[in-house]
Structure 1
Amino acid sequence: MSSADSIRGDPTTGGPSKSQDADSSRKTKRARTSRPKVKTGCHNCKQRRIKCDEKRPACTQCIRSKKACTGYPPPPRSARSHEVLAIAPKPLSAPPSNGPPPLAHPPPRRARRQPERRDAITPQAPVSSLGPVTMYRPSATLPLSPHEGLYFELFRTHTAGELSGYFDSVFWTRTVLQECHTEDAIRHAVVALGALYKTLEQSSESPPGSPTNHDPVDNAWQHWEVAVRQYSKAINALVHLNSEDQRSHRVLLMASVLLGCFDSFIGDHKQGIRQIQNGLELLEKLRAERRKSQLSGSEEPVEEELVIMFTRLAIQAKSYDMAFHFPQPYVIRLIPSASEPPQSPPSDAGGSPSSTTSSSLMSLFFFPSRFTTLMEARHSWDRLLEAIMRFTETMFNYAQTNGSNSPMGILPRELQEYGLSFRGHIDAWCEAFEPILQSRRAPDVTHQEKAGIAVLKMFQIMTQILYLMTFSASESQFDVFQPQFETIVGLALEVVGDEERRAETERCPDPSRCRHRRQDQDPVPDVFGRYDYTTRTHHIKPSFSADLGIVPPLFVVATKCRNPVTRRQAIQLLRSSARREAMWDSELTARIGDWIATIEEEGDAGVPTAMNPWHGAMDTSNGNGNGNGNGNGNGVAGASSSYGPPATVPEERRVMVRAVDFDLRARFARLQVGTRGITPGSPDMRSRMTQIRW
């Protein structure tokens, strides 16, 4: 028997061998040290199948053998689970006995102010200690059971701030909470959102400062069941409302916002669209009644704050519909369906953000020479954006009514003179916003306000591109907007980079003990040409917001920009962390952009060279590039595209999204693309379909 056999033991008995028994008194048994299997190392050592000590810049094995160390491959995505967490609130399997299943978790993207003192509405229990951006403090008389009180407190201290996104909103942090005192439907909806957040919190690492809870009953499935029950109770409470009561109308509209957010949160976009459609129908009905009764004052049946919040949610859903081309009955219409089709193209069909009646565009969109606050700029942009969407919807309705055989998403040429009147209003808004954009790096600007400025500018650029392209039948016209695409990517990089740095400081104040990334990982430049970890977000957690963010503009860059570097930068930023902004999901949009880039660039020998991150990358890590991106000198650091001559995608290979049918809960999408500008009913030689799962 060999010495190796004597160590392993007798295979027939499973116990120690006789030889081993005889030798045990003379020498100590040696056991092989258990070590994890290592799959890292430089390219040379991996090919030679030898152990690599992974020293930088060249490993010891390569130095000894006098070989050129060719570097280290990036770790596989399977080894970076923190980078691929998807937002999937519902537990994916039955609750196990030893704890909750692995789910995603959307903790805060930015530092919060210190929480206020809690009122004793419930017994103290382990909830998130992160404070909100709120000035509201509920009284002790709030009709909540002790169990419901826990979720309400979590909503008040954390979820309300998350739903506000990059812009403070008194709707979430004050109005909704006040309404919980008197309206059962609103109270149940708030508790449902709090329980939904708790479901996600149990699936991931708790936020910093949160107490550890070892209660075996406190798991994701229990919180998920509470969320579903409270959602059901909110629906039942709405059914029993008096439909003729004026206050009931206000409750219905507010509940449409809350329940629509719940549906978007769990990935049920179809139900979320139904909620918004019901709210739009009710709002237009109430407006019509006020106009008919000729009541003095504003025609709005509810306060402006609620109208603004509901309008923002409707605009988000409309943009979602326009991007993915939903079939009936999931089409969002900002113009009432009961209105008569226009017989002539109206020049001011935009209307106001709270009205469908026509008014003078010049008086409606009179902007100051400069905005004094970010919120003033945001409210002005909301009005202009909704007017643009209403105008575009009216123009397409007119084209269809008059038998125009216009391709998908393209207005007939005879309507251009009407639509282009908005270009001046967009330019005027940009000029008034420029001082705020320039001030975003000032020392007294908060992280949240800085991100809000960047996000608002990204949306303005995206809207301008898409609106002007409604008059073009050629995808090649998007190339004109390359500077704008780079500006969008540069601004998104600012937002993501700031989030990562703050998250790293908050979660890992001691970098030497950081457990979210390998300390010895080679700082290989990424697609941005950076050697730091700014774009390799290890610390940002999955997030959900009810307001606009970086996902829609980056989706436009990923699908419409044909510069291979800028396009991949947008896709990388979409995948930097799991985000859901209203209905927009970062992972879904990244995968759509990636597939479209693949089929447009297939067979193009120039793309791999241009995409090589080691090939002449420009380091823009200081975020203070001198490229202005959109020609107005705003100092935005555009993403570097100096990798060499980028491959040009010819027009005959370019495609546009024709339809996307998907289910975020099942992580499945069926995507169809085709030719832009093709006449409806004509054969499309570029039509392609695929199925995406993740």
Structure 2
Amino acid sequence: MASSTLEKSPYISQDDAHYFDFFRGQLVYELSGYSHSEFWLRIVPCESTLDRCALESVLAIGALSTAIRLAPQHSTQSTRRPSALHPWSVIVMANIHHEAAVRHYIKALALFRNRLEAEMNKASPRSLLIVSLLLITFELLQGDMKSADSLITRSITLLKHTLKLHRQEGLPHQVQAPRPLEDDLEDMEHLLPLISIMGGYTPFLLSQSSNIQLWDTTCGMDLLIADQPSISKLDVQWNKYHARAVAFIGATMNFRTLPLPQQRDIEEQKNLFFAQLRVWQIEIDSWCKGGETFVDPVQIRTLQIMQIQHQTLLICVSCCLDATDMIYDNFEAEFRVLLTRCVKYLRESRPTYLFTLSTSILSALLVVVNRCRVHNIRMMAAGIIRQIQWREGAWEPALMLNGKLGGVLMEERSRNKDGFIPSDCRWFWAATEWEAGRKQLIATYARAVPDASGQPVNKTLVLDPDKILDVCSDIGCLVDHDIEYLDLLSGIR
């Protein structure tokens, strides 16, 4: 359903046609990643033929992606591929395609702002959501995390009465603010919360870690997965559940500081999430058994990622209320299964894209690196991440791995003679400081257990953003953890 203010059949010049064709013919699949959702494959291309603002955004993404592909991978600051530490900007243009990208993006922003100023009360929530996601995608793609962070927060504010996951302060869950019904809106409204929630687990979208409190993890807790007619619909339902579960895990970070009644509420929510994971297990297994007849590889990848994300949630929901991180030691078998599934996905899929908005195996592997204290398992996960060449939203594999490995290095140095890491030697990555162009990344780590007086214990490491820490060399481990040489995971020790 298009807004009444949208232009009919926006014109595409001959100079820009190849950007549109590139977006429609290739980028929609890359941005979708594993997902079988119709947002990129159908909704965005259709919207861009009706809405000038959406079209300018699509052309900007197409032109920027073209510019990135033509830029040398290892070169100067101005031409290397964009990242959180080396974002592209209007100050130095990489090539003519970068110039075209900036030109179209400025037009899209101007149209978007004019629409908000002219008809904020009449603007279509569906249209606002689509364009917001496109603008956020552009900023993430060019590595401008500060602008992406601001856009995400602004979009959440604009659409808070549309997003079912957003807390409706002062309103009971069943009496939320009314909103206009629009085609497809319910199938894509989870995309913005998911970007915000996953971004909050990185050091690059600083506002999103605090925005975790905006999401109502009890909203819509009854599962609606029965008789899903397609993988696409199942994917939407799973992503809604996945977003709530990941938000819940983030909200439990301060569990021990909460009043006792709130702690009991959170414990009840945890039990409910765990019960729902069992229901989802049955559903996903059922689809996987039927998946033997699937011919579309995207459907197979979608189910594989559901299995990976389900296994990750199973571990994290089980352990999220333990501030000492000790319970994770009881999940060695589950970590093995998770790692095996990630390896299987990587070997069968071999993604070739540079950037996707989907969440696939990167976040799951980083959980293994950070939370599994079996040395060979966590270091094999790190080895897999080293081979990942694509970015997932704000998740950059090399930067995220380096940050996690700082804590891993301190833990591995602290193993006792029995190979055990004591509770007062377990660390997690808490914060990062950096400036674009600087050759150092300052990472702060918090110890899982406070000191004797109850005060937090922090340590700071200065990391080289262009050189991943070599933990094994530091502790004298001679095992080759490269998965190219390890075909059987059952022998991990």
TM bucket, shorter chain: 0.7 to 0.9
Give the aligned residue type for 2:52. Answer: D
What secondary structure, in the 3-state scheme, does the structure 1 residue paired with 2:190 have? helix
Aligned partner of 1:556 among 367, 387, 392:
367
Distance 1:324 1:483, change over 3 A: farther
Corresponding residue of 2:464: 692
Distance 1:330 1:587, change over 3 A: same
CA distance in 1, matches of 2:407, 2:264: 28
Aligned partner of 2:30 among 159, 162, 165:
162
Corresponding residue of 1:187: 55
Corresponding residue of 2:3: none
What secondary structure, in the 3-state scheme, does the structure 2 residue paired with 1:657 have? strand
Written as runs of structure 1 = structure 2, the 5 A alignment for 1:601-680 is 601-602=412-413, 604=415, 647-662=419-434, 669-678=441-450
Q: Say yes or no: does 1:271 pair with 2:122.
A: no
Distance 1:269 1:416, change over 3 A: same
Distance 1:333 1:679, change over 3 A: farther
Corresponding residue of 1:385: 242
Q: Does the aligned pair in 1 maintain the 2:332–2:372 contact within 8 Å?
A: yes
Q: Among the aligned pairs, what percent are the same residue?
A: 19
Written as runs of structure 1 = structure 2, the 5 A alignment for 1:304-383 is 305-322=184-201, 324=203, 327-328=206-207, 331-333=210-212, 335=214, 350-352=218-220, 361=221, 364-365=222-223, 367-368=225-226, 373-383=230-240
Aligned partner of 2:96 among 205, 222, 227:
222
What secondary structure, in the 3-state scheme, does the structure 2 residue paired with 1:187 have? helix
Q: Does the aligned pair in 1 maintain the 2:37–2:235 contact within 8 Å?
A: no
Corresponding residue of 2:398: 587
Q: Say yes or no: does 1:262 pair with 2:138.
A: yes
> Which is richer in helix?
2
CA distance in 1, matches of 2:464, 2:189: 32
What secondary structure, in the 3-state scheme, does the structure 1 residue paired with 2:387 have? coil
Measured against aligned partners, the alpha-carbon deviations of 1:77-114 in whole angstroms (never above 9, x if no partner) come to: xxxxxxxxxxxxxxxxxxxxxxxxxxxxxxxxxxxxxx
Q: Does the aligned pair in 1 maintain the 2:53–2:131 contact within 8 Å?
A: yes
What secondary structure, in the 3-state scheme, does the structure 2 residue paired with 1:270 have? helix
Number of matched pairs: 430
CA distance in 1, matches of 2:132, 2:334: 35
Q: Does the aligned pair in 1 maintain the 2:32–2:356 contact within 8 Å?
A: yes
Measured against aligned partners, the alpha-carbon deviations of 1:305-355 in whole angstroms (never above 9, x if no partner) come to: 34443422422331331454965586324637xxxxxxxxxxx95113xxx
Aligned partner of 1:482 among 332, 336, 340:
332
What secondary structure, in the 3-state scheme, does the structure 1 residue paired with 2:377 have? helix
Give the aligned residue type for 2:461. Answer: M
Aligned partner of 2:285 among 434, 439, 453:
434
Distance 1:681 1:548, change over 3 A: farther
What secondary structure, in the 3-state scheme, does the structure 1 residue paired with 2:184 have? helix
CA distance in 2, matches of 1:385, 1:326: 20
Distance 1:142 1:284, change over 3 A: closer
Aligned partner of 1:234 among 83, 103, 108:
108
Shift of 1:665: 8.0
Give the aligned residue type for 1:143. Answer: Y
Q: Does the aligned pair in 2 maintain the 1:544–1:581 contact within 8 Å?
A: yes
Question: Please, which runs of 5 or more residues in structure 2 have no aligned partner?
Answer: 1-7, 74-92, 467-493
Measured against aligned partners, the alpha-carbon deviations of 1:178-221 in whole angstroms (never above 9, x if no partner) come to: 2223322111110000001111221369xxxxxxxxxxxxx951
CA distance in 1, matches of 2:332, 2:324: 15
Measured against aligned partners, the alpha-carbon deviations of 1:111-150 in whole angstroms (never above 9, x if no partner) come to: xxxxxxxxxxxxxxxxxxxxxxxxxxxxx96401211112
CA distance in 2, matches of 1:439, 1:555: 30
Task: Report the TM-score, using the length of structure 1 for normalisation.
Answer: 0.55
Measured against aligned partners, the alpha-carbon deviations of 1:589-628 in whole angstroms (never above 9, x if no partner) come to: 222233322221126598xxxxxxxxxxxxxxxxxxxxxx
Written as runs of structure 1 = structure 2, the 5 A alignment for 1:485-496 is 485-496=335-346
Aligned partner of 2:69 among 201, 223, 230:
201
Shift of 1:573: 1.1
CA distance in 2, matches of 1:603, 1:429: 38
Q: Does the aligned pair in 1 maintain the 2:391–2:397 contact within 8 Å?
A: yes
CA distance in 1, matches of 2:188, 2:445: 33
Q: Does the aligned pair in 2 maintain the 1:267–1:665 contact within 8 Å?
A: no
CA distance in 2, matches of 1:565, 1:371: 40
Distance 1:144 1:303, change over 3 A: same
